[in-house]
């Protein structure tokens, strides 16, 4: 029996935002592996083994998935949004790099999903319509100084910015430092979008000026978009014009 490993993105939350190829891969899976809330989005069925795990063990989870695929199982590793954006796909390739050489010959595919940034941008209008960057504000895997440096340089380059993992209970102060940095360099009228739980029943899209932005407006279910100097409002929409 030949096993396979699919690393799939479930999108931001809504069933309608799961791509047909991801739905098909889930239908054909023998095993689904991922962080508990993501695995719980996969409906159980006869013959399907679900392996929910804690988020802190990404590399262990990747190794487990590779071992199951090598033993002949049809494994799907699930991430929210897109699996290549601050998620499991890189962890799987890191495990392949460090693992036995036969893992390099496994049938591995990455299936894209709608990442939070794109779902949030669409809900607000078109704030990422010109050049932009995405920055993970969590310092779990990198020093926070590097986060601040990237934000500073992105401001200098006048990118619109999408911030993932803006704020958690274990690190409530860092997003406040990022807001201070923005306030020092971008001016009080810069547009900021707090997009929470996009595409779920809890969706909340809040558009404010930088002078009104508060750290408490973000949590771990929020994607923050900071406009460039050209980002503007038209009615209830926010957009960035395509010419700089
Ligand atoms: N792979 C995921 C991102 C994982 S990092 C993706 O491509 O979307 C987790 C962060 O993504 C959260 O802290 C939040 O900033 C963002 N996020 C994920 N789903 C979201 C949603 N439905 N609404 C708003 N932000 C979301």
Span 154-184, pLDDT tens digits: 999 999 999 999 988 777 788 999 999 999 9
Q: What's the helix, strand, coil split of the chain in %, to 5?
A: 35, 25, 40
Query: Closest Cα to atom 17, ligand 1: which residue?
Result: 116
Q: Please say if the pLDDT value at position 225 is more than 90.
A: yes
In which residue ranges of the chain is CATH 3.40.1010.10 found?
4-114
Q: What angle do CA 85, 101, 34 make, to 5 degrees?
A: 35
Q: Contact, 243 vs 172, CB < 8 A?
A: no
Pocket test for ligand 1, best of 8, 81, 170, 193 (most atoms within 8 A of CB): 81
Instruction: Look at residue 55 in the predicted model and tell me its pLDDT.
Output: 65
pTM of the model: 0.96
Ligand 1 atom closest to the Cα of residue 136 is 5
* Ligand 1 contact via 38 beta carbon (within 6 Å): no
pLDDT tens digits, 181-208:
999 999 999 999 999 999 999 999 999 9
pLDDT tens digits, 19-51:
999 999 999 999 999 999 999 999 999 999 999
State how beta strands 237-239 and 125-126 pair: parallel
String of b and e for 21-31 (b: at least 16 CB within 10 Å)? ebeebbeebbb
In which residue ranges of the chain is CATH 3.30.950.10 found?
117-239
Ligand 1 atom closest to the Cα of residue 168 is 13
The architecture of the domain spanning 117-239 is: 2-Layer Sandwich (3.30)
User: Which residues, other chains included, contact 191 with Cβ-Cβ below 8 Å and sequence gap of 6+?
Assistant: 127, 207, 208, 209, 210, 226, 227, 231, 232, 233, 238
Query: Closest Cα to atom 13, ligand 1: which residue?
Result: 165
Q: Contact, 68 vs 53, CB < 8 A?
A: no
Q: What is the DSSP string of 4-57?
A: EEEEEE-BSS-GGGS-HHHHHHHHH-SEEEEEHHHHTTSPP-TTPEEEEE-TT-
Q: Which fold has domain 4-114?
A: Cobalt-precorrin-4 Transmethylase; domain 1 (3.40.1010)
Band the pLDDT of 244: cuts 50, 70, 90.
Answer: confident
Bridge partners, 72 (sequence order) = none
Instruction: Look at residue 162 in the predicted model and tell me its pLDDT.
Output: 98
Specify the DSSP class assigned to residue 212: G
Tell me the angle at which helices 58-70 and 88-98 cross, rounded to the nearest 10 degrees: 70
pLDDT tens digits, 144-153:
999 999 999 9
Q: How far is CA 167 from CA 140, 178, 230, in A?
A: 12, 10, 26
Ligand 1 atom closest to the Cα of residue 114 is 7
Cα(70) to centroid of ligand 1, in Å?
A: 30
Instruction: Look at residue 1 in the predicted model and tell me its pLDDT.
Output: 60
Q: Please say if the pLDDT value at position 113 is more than 90.
A: yes
pLDDT tens digits, 49-93:
999 998 678 999 999 999 999 999 999 999 999 999 999 999 999
Instruction: Look at residue 168 in the predicted model and tell me its pLDDT.
Output: 80
């Amino acid at each position: 029996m030949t096993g396979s490993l699919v690393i799939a993105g479930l999108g931001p939350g809504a069933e309608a935002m799961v791509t047909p190829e991801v739905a098909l891969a889930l239908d054909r899976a023998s095993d689904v592996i991922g962080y508990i809330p993501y695995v719980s989005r996969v409906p159980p069925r006869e013959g399907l083994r679900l392996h929910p795990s804690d988020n802190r063990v990404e590399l262990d989870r990747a190794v487990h998935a590779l071992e199951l695929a090598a033993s002949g199982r049809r494994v799907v590793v699930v991430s929210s949004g897109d699996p290549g954006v601050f998620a499991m796909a890189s962890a799987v390739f890191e495990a392949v790099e460090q693992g036995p050489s036969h893992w390099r010959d496994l049938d591995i595919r990455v299936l894209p999903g709608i990442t939070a940034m794109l779902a949030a941008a669409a809900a607000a209008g078109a704030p990422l319509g010109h050049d932009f960057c995405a920055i993970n504000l969590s310092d779990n895997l990198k020093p926070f100084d590097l986060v601040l440096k990237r934000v500073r340089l992105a401001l200098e380059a006048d990118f619109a910015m999408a911030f993932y993992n803006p704020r958690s209970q274990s690190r409530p102060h860092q997003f406040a430092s990022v807001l201070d940095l923005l306030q020092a360099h971008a001016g009080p009228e810069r547009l900021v979008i707090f997009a929470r739980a996009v595409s779920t029943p809890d969706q909340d899209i809040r558009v404010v000026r930088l002078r009104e932005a508060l750290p408490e407006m973000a949590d771990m279910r929020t994607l923050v978009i900071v406009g460039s100097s050209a980002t503007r409002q038209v009615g209830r929409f926010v957009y960035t014009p395509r010419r700089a």
